[in-house]
Amino acid sequence: MQLARAFLIRLLTTLVTLFGVAVIVFFVIRVVPGNPIAMMLPPGASDADIARLKALYGFDKSIPQQFVIWLSGVLHGDFGTSITRRQPVLDLVLNRLPATIELAGMALIIATIIGGFLALTGTRLRGTKTEAAIDVGSGMALSIPDFLWGLLMILLFGVLWPVLDISGRVTPSLQLPFTTQFYLTESVLRLRFDLWRDIAGHMLMPALALAIPLSAIIGQLLKQSLKETMHLDYVTLARTKGYGENHVILREALRNAILPTLTLIGVQFTFLIGGTVIVERLFSYEGLGNMAIDAVINRDLPLIQGIVIVFALLFTLINLAVDMCYALLNPRLRHG
Amino acid sequence: MQLSRRTLLQLSAAGAALSVASVALPAFAAIDELVIAYNVPLPSWDPTTGPSAVNPTIQAIYLSVFDRFIGQKPDLKPEPGILTEWGWNEDKTKIHMTVRDGMKWHDGSALTAEDVVWSLTRAADEKTGNPIQFIWSTIGNLKADGNKITGDVIRFDPTVFMWMYFLTGFVMPKAYYEKVGAEGFEKAPIGSGPYMVDKFEPNAFVRLKAFPDYWGGKAEFETVTIKFVTDPAARVAEVEGGNAHVTLEIPYEEYDRLKGGGKLVGTAEPISDIGMIFINDIDPMLDANVRKAAVMAIDKQLIIDRLLSGYGVPIDTLETPDYTAYDPSIKTPHDPAAAAELLKSSGYGPDKPVKFTIQTTKGFKPKDYEMVQAIVGLWRKIGIEAEIEVYEIAKHYELRAADKLAPMAFYNWGNSIGDPTTSTGFAMFGPSPHSVWDGKDLIDMIAPLWGEKDEDKRIAGWKAVDKFIAENALVLPLLQYVQPIIAAPGVIVTPHKSGALLPYLMKRG
């Protein structure tokens, strides 16, 4: 009951947050220099031509009037039409979102596996040279930003040892039988592992670039949590019962130590989605982030608004889900 | 069979070597599917409306799928295309055009004079959002009779036929467009060009298939994939790793390295784009001595050699040698001593420098910011202290349209028809939203040229304008850009002066 009430309150605050984001984005992108009309002005445009173009795209009205028109459209599911792509914004955004979610999801899985492995190895071999090497490696992974990892991987696996595809989401010559944009997921569901291999091959480098810094964060936090847990009484008791070190770490300590890491993973997932913007661009990956950069370069205001709202919605929903999961997993929170 | 550890290792090594070889091979084997790593993505398929229609960098993709009314040779000269003949009557009150017979759209239907009339009428209709509507509306009452088209000149514009091989000058399929509408056209575009759209993934790639019924003959490469790879380092990796056969717009140092490596071939030809610095007629640019000194202090060749690895052609006016009104006799020499004297006569010098702001983009064009840094360094020696302000290109457009640029602002100007109206004209005519020099004397010189019917007189007039601008330092022309193109040895690329990288012009090596 308490959980349901908390959920409802969070849902309401989410709506308020989204409205706030909508207001800020709408006004800010109209105030910053650079408008789409100036970018498409023909060489010999007269004042009348400029006025005509402004009216054509609805920029002849005051900003509050534009906001009201846009908001009423959004409430009816109409996010407007992209100026550069001449298609409904919502269609464009929903079409690209699955690619970004799959990329971020794959990066998260890779980061969790690498980070988890490093933390467990570091804990198991604590005080040895291996732990020191893991710490140094984690420091390096953290200090290099994801796009530089991307460039490094392009050099390694695209040029020196060209085994992975540098750009795109799928080989252009392949015929895709998919009905959704969740290519990777759908290829598994359809048991088309030939396609899965191609899609995963395209996704591997951008996903790794995103995952490496995150894996270091996960690894460090989990290792620290494990270290603290290893000194607790129940762990000592397990040792005195004669359990081996691997059993103590995996079966006893990990269950408690993983909770703060799970929260971090949830929070980092939102940052991961934000990080896709640059990485998608670098690898010409057809996700939402790549489209966002084009929208900003071309000052495609309706598209920028649509993308930001969707990103904001995604962030708040993920945070909500993380909070709910945490409450469910943590008995102290579950029972108030 | 039992595998020893040694055998297993040997087999693994052999397998790895084979896999590397098989991946690296395609760039050097016979090319079935041509892959181009292109520098900008294609946002929209309608080449006649919206911002994409006036974006010069994506015209090559449009030109692969659609035809313009009039063709354009790689040297920028017009050639028969969909129209085989065009012109005015004697007193230039009527126009006439002849449409080529036997052409087809990608869906197999016939391309007729009706399509041409519809395309021109639609372009002139302000409701369709054609950014060049102001040109297309200068002709009207178009009528098709067989393959002949006639029409009235509503307002004489000497460049109207040039625009038929320039931005938005494309022929669109009337029946198909009316059937599917704007949104349907975006999803499944058809044209009459050398390639048909097979598959399009925005921001990723477009896959094209050769159109067997193309009026100009079937393209050499049956399938062409254009990957949109916006990052220059990734484009270099695409060709170097054998994932793409051709790429363009890479750093000149990389171009030299790749070409020098012997595995790839390259061309670097001057194109119709120029780098220039706008001078706004606000203080201190109202002082002619300051302007002239700023121009004379710059060693353009030195900047090209040091920053662009020698790839660039210094220019003295806004006309390149390929433009119609180019006049080689107009020179703005590099003379720092004379520049210092001019500044001195206005009371400035290294101890008491004249101060102003210069705006520039950073990374929008090759070494744009670095070039401005070098210019500011050269100016400092003679007594000009310029502060660099970096801005986005979108802000440049807005400031320019509002006539609020800083006293100096770096920009690149493209003019792939080479006419003076679309270079000096729009850049320097005060009432144009693209000009920031509003001097009345220059406006009076340019105004009569817009409607000049005598072509020789018109070009001579523009040359006089360019001379006046150079003598009074009303703008600072810097260089004509050189476009680097790298290709696998199996592909012969014909560069186009407009900068459009056209798959149709590529042949097997």
Residue range B182-194, pLDDT digits in tens? 989 999 999 999 9
Structural domain contains residue B288:
yes
Please state, in angstroms and rounded to a whole number, the distance separating the CA atoms of residues A111 and A212.
6
- pLDDT score of A10: 80
Looking at the complex, report in whole angstroms how far the Cα of residue B104 sits from the nearest Cα belonging to chain A: 26
Average of per-residue pLDDT across B371-400: 92
The answer to whether the beta carbons of residues B125 and B133 sit under 8 Å apart is: yes
DSSP A277-315: HHHHHHTT--SHHHHHHHHHHTT-HHHHHHHHHHHHHHH
Structural domain contains residue B244:
yes
Q: Inform me whether the C-beta atom of residue B433 falls under 8 Å from chain A C-beta atoms.
A: yes
Whether the CA torsion A140, A144, A146, A147 is positive or negative: it is negative
Q: Which of residues 298 through 327 in chain A touch B, CB cutoff 8 A?
A: 298-299
- Does position B425 have pLDDT exceeding 80, yes or no? yes
- pLDDT score of A223: 92
- For an interface test with B, which of A30, A41, A91 has the most B Cβ atoms less than 10 Å from its Cβ? A41
Q: Which of residues 127 through 156 in chain A touch B, CB cutoff 8 A?
A: 151, 154-155
Structural domain contains residue B16:
no
Tokens in use for B217? 């003959």
Q: Which of residues 199 through 228 in chain A touch B, CB cutoff 8 A?
A: none
Examine residue B284 and say whether the peptide bond preceding it is cis (omega within 30 degrees of 0): yes
- Does position B82 have pLDDT exceeding 90, yes or no? yes
pLDDT band, very low/low/confident/very high, at A267 (cuts 50, 70, 90) = confident
E-only strand ranges, B298-348? 313-314
Structural domain contains residue B459:
yes
- Does position B174 have pLDDT exceeding 70, yes or no? yes
The answer to whether the beta carbons of residues B148 and B84 sit under 8 Å apart is: no
Q: Inform me whether the C-beta atom of residue A277 falls under 8 Å from chain B C-beta atoms.
A: no
Give CA B446 to chain center in angstroms: 24
Shared-domain flag, residues B341 and B452: yes
- pLDDT score of B17: 44
pLDDT band, very low/low/confident/very high, at B18 (cuts 50, 70, 90) = very low
Q: Chain B partners of A56 at a C-beta cutoff of 8 Å?
A: 127, 129
Residue B138: name the closest of B118, B123, B117 by CA.
B123
Q: Inform me whether the C-beta atom of residue A172 falls under 8 Å from chain B C-beta atoms.
A: yes
pLDDT band, very low/low/confident/very high, at A184 (cuts 50, 70, 90) = very high
Structural domain contains residue B1:
no
Shared-domain flag, residues B343 and B471: yes
Which residue of chain B is at minimal alpha-carbon distance from A282?
A: B231
Q: Using CB atoms, which residue from A41, A86, A297 is nearest to B401?
A: A41
Shared-domain flag, residues B127 and B151: yes
Shared-domain flag, residues B259 and B344: no
Q: Chain B partners of A163 at a C-beta cutoff of 8 Å?
A: 19-20, 23
CB contact under 8 A, B43 and A298: yes
Average of per-residue pLDDT across B147-163: 96
DSSP B438-506: --HHHHHHHGGGTT---HHHHHHHHHHHHHHHHHHT-EEEEEEEEEEEEE-TTEE----TT----GGG-
Region of poorest pLDDT, from B77-86, B126-135, B161-170, B321-330? B126-135
pLDDT band, very low/low/confident/very high, at A13 (cuts 50, 70, 90) = confident
Owning domain of residue B126: 67-174
Looking at the complex, report in whole angstroms how far the Cα of residue A198 sits from the nearest Cα belonging to chain B: 14
Shared-domain flag, residues B136 and B164: yes
Report the predicted TM-score, pTM, of the whole model to 2 decimal places.
0.85
CB contact under 8 A, B394 and A43: no
Q: Using CB atoms, which residue from B51, B182, B241 is nearest to A84?
A: B51
Q: Chain A partners of B177 at a C-beta cutoff of 8 Å?
A: none
Residue B229: name the closest of B60, B471, B42, B17 by CA.
B42
- pLDDT score of B291: 97
- Does position B446 have pLDDT exceeding 90, yes or no? yes
Please state, in angstroms and rounded to a whole number, the distance separating the CA atoms of residues B136 and A1.
68
Whether the CA torsion B451, B456, B462, B468 is positive or negative: it is negative
Structural domain contains residue B306:
yes
Shared-domain flag, residues B121 and B208: no
Dump pLDDT digits (tens) for A157-172: 988 888 888 889 999 8
Region of poorest pLDDT, from A67-81, B296-310, B415-429? A67-81
- CATH number for position B420: 3.10.105.10
Among B126, B144, B174, identify where a domain stops. Answer: B174
Class of domain A90-334: mainly alpha
Burial track A49-68 (b if 16+ CB lie within 10 A, e otherwise): bbebbeebbebeeeeeebbe
pLDDT band, very low/low/confident/very high, at B289 (cuts 50, 70, 90) = very high
For chain A, the structural domain boundaries read: 2-62, 90-334
For a pLDDT cut of 90, what percent of chain B falls above it?
81
Shared-domain flag, residues B449 and B316: yes
CB contact under 8 A, B186 and A86: yes
Average of per-residue pLDDT across B259-281: 95
- Does position A326 have pLDDT exceeding 80, yes or no? no
- Does position B10 have pLDDT exceeding 80, yes or no? no
pLDDT, greater one: A87 or B485: B485
